[in-house]
Structure 1
Amino acid sequence: MSIPYKTDSLHLINMVIEQLKELKGGAVDETCPIGIISMDNWEWPQGVGLFSLYSFYKTTGRRDILDYIRTWFDQQMAKGLPDKNINTMCPMLTLTYLYEEVGDERYLNLCKEWAHYAMNELPRTTEHGFQHVVSGHSNPGEIWDDTLYMTVLFVTRMGILLQDDTYIQESIRQFLVHLKYLTDPVSGLFFHGWTFEGHHHFANALWGRGNAWYTAGLIDYLDMAVIPEGVRWFLLSSLERQVKSLAELQSESGLWHTLLNDPSSYLETSASAGFAYGILKAVRTGLLDETYKSVALKALAAVKEQITEDGIVQGVSYGTGMGRTLQEYRDIPICPMAYGQSMALLLLVESLNHEIAV
């Protein structure tokens, strides 16, 4: 039986999905060793894309979406996977769910292989943080806020899939270590990264999309795992403090700047979609106070304004490495990206829970 969501919302979602599938490189000169624009590649943007598609499948039961996800993984496995690192781990999150849906043992074996790497072979920083190793760069001694979404969610899922609490405890440690070193004590927002070798936050950038990985990722993390109540309280208090600052920094348009506290930096859609998704879902599930819903709805309207009639999400910044100056963040080019489509898709799918037709 079909679910009676509003037709215009489903039409917009379908357009965003089609553009996600069809994105190709060429909009900008790719600086990442593995292209991060096209869904033909295996990297972190494609991982975010797959998770957003799976979210839509679980909400609507659309089997064609599940078939696309399965075909994507089968083709990538036949082609051969890239080296394991923090970012290439991201697609594995959706593979854990795909295994549960279809029961293909190849998927489980691959998940076990990559989870073993994360737990036993991935380089660690001081205090056992996951070193932010990416394609082409080992980044010794560095932790970045991206890691929680790209790798820790997958580690969490493996603890559930294998019924092994070691993975859950590791996920807790990673959240706590990252929050310990990345939280700005003044604003409650998060710095992009920290180096244990230089003992600094690089450019002290309160980077939008990096913050959005926490806002969006934490709510899904708490959906996945049962963790000690005291830890849960701590993670949620960090979220509420972040969201309080986000509400103060939201632009009149409803979007946020790519440097959250810098109005001279451009407004950025993918971060804004991630914030709105996390806040809206947190309010719906009772994890944030209802007063924050207006912030999310304002952002939702603004994100929709950034989607063209044929479903391309505009105002999205290209992949962003660790900036040594704030100007580097201001200069990141803007172009359609898989994660731009995906963060908007997550938000649009969540919004369906608030507008079921009656």
Structure 2
Amino acid sequence: MSTARNHSLRETAGRLFAYMTEDHAGNWGLDFDQWDWVPGVGVIAIRDYYESTGRTDAMDFLVRWAEKNRGKAGGSRAVNAMAPFAVFPELHRHTSDVLYRDLALAAGEWLLREAPRTREGALEHTVTEAVQFAEQVWADTVFMAVLPLSEMAKSYGNRAFAEEALRQLLLHYRLLRDEESAVLFHGWNCAAGNHMSAARWTRANAWIAIATPMILDNIRGLVPIPPEATDGYRRLIDGLLAFAQPSGLWPTVLDRSGFYPETSGSAGIAAGILRGVRSGWLEPSMRVHADRTIDAVTAAVDERGEVRGVSGGTPVLESVEAYNAIPQYPTLYGQGLALMLVSEALRGEGE
């Protein structure tokens, strides 16, 4: 990586981080002071930014955030509320405060033993809002719950957590994969036996594209990694590349080239490619496929550090067309996926 490019990426990462950590109280998409998936993605990204750059202000923010919000950690038992726990093992290491360990392990035990499951045994996608998605499997769950479970497995040498993380990862691939294209549908209804609207939603694929190599890294050494996991991941990436647009971004639904380009999903896919290469799950030659996306995503970051072109929170919708009507606005998950991409780029070969 050239010195100029490295400097540009570091400057972009700094703007992303600065915008994320401004006071956005009361703004659902940007408010860190809630306990849910949105700030969860934000803190995971800031943890990765810290690991990539060593920026002490990033870790200082995480410690302040956790001290302020950890009292909310036990208040909601839902898949989407698991995401923030992913950074608790790192906070435990950094602060030596055993409360972070205890809260993380309690969340892991809930996921292992109590979280609702579908008839196939997959984690049912549960949310903090007063709405239920009975017998539904969503791609989002892999990032929001399976990734945190794998972080706890790695940090505390918990084989049972690792086995369940692997089982859930494989189940989600099996239930969500479109065998023809190898990409993933947003959701699966176990009771109806169908993919509902059958949307090949880009951000759904991004959640799994970035989470898979992270999960496999975390559980490697605790459980054998079967070929089904690595081959499925490689097939997914190959399938996603078939839908890539010349701009470096993917449309908000992969196979609808006329739908608007979506920055957060594109960033997550490219970050997954870079992470897969760095961890050895993908060939080094695959890195080139992320380069145009890095340029396109950084171009979508304005002078304040706000990421443009991010679609709003999206449940499994009633039709594919409905995904193109989702409004776009800044969010912590949009900022976070962009920051994860830039952080991975900085950690890549030739840094």
TM-score range, shorter chain: over 0.9
Partner residue, 2:137: 143
Structure 1: how far apart are the matches of 2:101 and 2:287? 38
Instruction: Trace 1:70-109 onto structure 2 (pairs within 5 A).
Output: 70-78=63-71, 82-109=75-102
Percent pairwise identity: 30
Partner residue, 1:32: none
Structure 2: how far apart are the matches of 1:150 and 1:248? 26
Structure 2: how far apart are the matches of 1:218 and 1:141? 23
1:280 corresponds to which of 251, 274, 277: 274
TM-score normalised to the size of structure 1? Answer: 0.91
For residues 136-185 of structure 1, give each alpha carbon's deviation from its aligned partner in whole angstroms, at most 9, with x where no partner exists: 22311111111111001111222233322111111111111111111100
Partner residue, 1:40: 33
Note if contact 2:89-2:152 (Cα within 8 Å) is conserved in structure 1: yes
Structure 2: how far apart are the matches of 1:54 and 1:154? 13
TM-score normalised to the size of structure 2? Answer: 0.93
Partner residue, 2:20: 20
Note if contact 1:5-1:352 (Cα within 8 Å) is conserved in structure 2: no
Structure 1: how far apart are the matches of 2:30 and 2:118? 30
Equivalent pairs counted in the alignment come to 347
Code of the aligned partner of 2:49:
F
Instruction: Sort the Cα spacing of 1:5 and 1:293 in 2 relative to 1 into closer, same or farther, 3 A.
Output: closer
Instruction: Trace 1:106-125 onto structure 2 (pairs within 5 A).
Output: 106-125=99-118
Note if contact 1:6-1:355 (Cα within 8 Å) is conserved in structure 2: no
Code of the aligned partner of 1:183:
R
Matched, 1:155 2:144: no
Note if contact 1:42-1:81 (Cα within 8 Å) is conserved in structure 2: no
Structure 2: how far apart are the matches of 1:269 and 1:5? 20
SS across alignment from 2:137: strand
Query: Which sections of structure 2, spanning at least 5 residues, go unmatched?
Result: none
Instruction: Sort the Cα spacing of 1:78 and 1:178 in 2 relative to 1 into closer, same or farther, 3 A.
Output: closer
Partner residue, 1:30: none
**Residue 5 of structure 1: CA displacement?**
8.6
Matched, 1:67 2:60: yes
Matched, 1:200 2:194: yes
Partner residue, 1:308: 302
**Residue 202 of structure 1: CA displacement?**
0.6
Note if contact 1:155-1:171 (Cα within 8 Å) is conserved in structure 2: yes
Instruction: Trace 1:175-194 onto structure 2 (pairs within 5 A).
Output: 175-194=169-188
Structure 1: how far apart are the matches of 2:107 and 2:298? 36
Partner residue, 1:323: 317
Partner residue, 1:262: 256
SS across alignment from 2:274: helix
**Residue 286 of structure 1: CA displacement?**
2.9
Cα RMSD (Å) of the superposition? 2.1
Query: Which sections of structure 1, spanning at least 5 residues, go unmatched?
Result: 28-34
Instruction: Sort the Cα spacing of 1:122 and 1:285 in 2 relative to 1 into closer, same or farther, 3 A.
Output: closer
Partner residue, 1:294: 288
SS across alignment from 2:21: helix
Structure 2: how far apart are the matches of 1:241 and 1:100? 36
Structure 1: how far apart are the matches of 2:73 and 2:294? 38
Code of the aligned partner of 1:67:
D
For residues 68-116 of structure 1, give each alpha carbon's deviation from its aligned partner in whole angstroms, at most 9, with x where no partner exists: 1011011113467541101111000011221122210111121122222
Code of the aligned partner of 1:112:
L
Note if contact 1:23-1:337 (Cα within 8 Å) is conserved in structure 2: no
For residues 279-313 of structure 1, give each alpha carbon's deviation from its aligned partner in whole angstroms, at most 9, with x where no partner exists: 12222333222332222001111111111122111
1:217 corresponds to which of 211, 215, 224: 211
Greater alpha carbon shift after TM alignment, 243-252 vs 200-209: 243-252
**Residue 264 of structure 1: CA displacement?**
2.0
